[in-house]
A and B are shown apart, each in its own frame.
Chain A
């Protein structure tokens, strides 16, 4: 019963703050409500018994990406044009199109017959198994991701400095 309530709390947190991100007039408000979207998503991950991914989500998204985005907002904004960056006019055709997309997705999702397994193996956490998978089956993508991170950070520093 508690998990049902928690699911709705976290889902509402993620969706409502997601709405603020899209429709808020102030960019800073959008950036900070993205924080609550990420926290709500991390809660949903925990409910899906993905503990390690949830912690990684909080550390990488909230601790890294969000700080980066807030820096981006602050560095690309003049103090004088507070109102200029607000969405002057909402483009209704795109709202309608996205509404149609959402309707189609909902229709498919609710009608499809998913073959699911409700039981979860009784394990203390996913960290150890994940570590083993990353070091055995997925060692190649793991190393490629490491190289990609290195190259991307160097590239970002190079582009931003010029």
Chain B
């Protein structure tokens, strides 16, 4: 492992750490909004992978296009998920995932 010249592996390691943090946020956090933040972390890690592989193939722009689509999907997902979270909050008066056990009240 070479620490003084930055290569593909360095970016992949950062991405793996961020992915694990996202999974951790999904598993140990109970607040639905925080779980959403975990999903955003995971999508960012995937994006970093796309861009790193694109760069280390001699700037293959297909990876960049895919990263742009991932950003669009993240925006869509955040909008719809927050609408659902607001709705759940109005129905159950909480967004703690383990206190919501039914779809209806």
Q: Which residues of A are interface residues toward B (Cβ below 8 A)? A: 3-4, 7, 11, 14-15, 18-19, 21-22, 27, 30-31, 34, 37-38, 41, 44-45, 47-50, 52-53, 56-57, 60-61, 64-65, 68-69, 71-73, 75-76, 85, 87, 90-91, 94-95, 97-99, 101-102, 105-106, 109-110, 114, 116-121, 123, 126, 129-130, 133-134, 138, 141, 145, 148-149, 152-153, 155-157, 159-160, 162
Contacts and interface: CB of A to CB of B under 8 A. Distances in A.
Contact of B83 (A38, A73, A157): A157
Contacts of B52: 48
B77 to A, nearest CB: 8
B72 A48 contact: no
Q: Which 10 A/B pairs are nearest by Cβ-Cβ distance? A: A94-B27, A156-B83, A117-B58, A160-B83, A116-B56, A102-B20, A159-B83, A105-B16, A48-B55, A152-B76
B54 A69 contact: no
Interface residues of B, number: 71
Given A53-B67, A69-B37, A130-B64, A149 B75 contact: yes
B28 A87 contact: yes
**Is chain B's binding surface mostly helix, strand, loop or mixed?**
helix
A130 B8 CA distance: 22
Nearest to B62: A133
Nearest to B31: A85
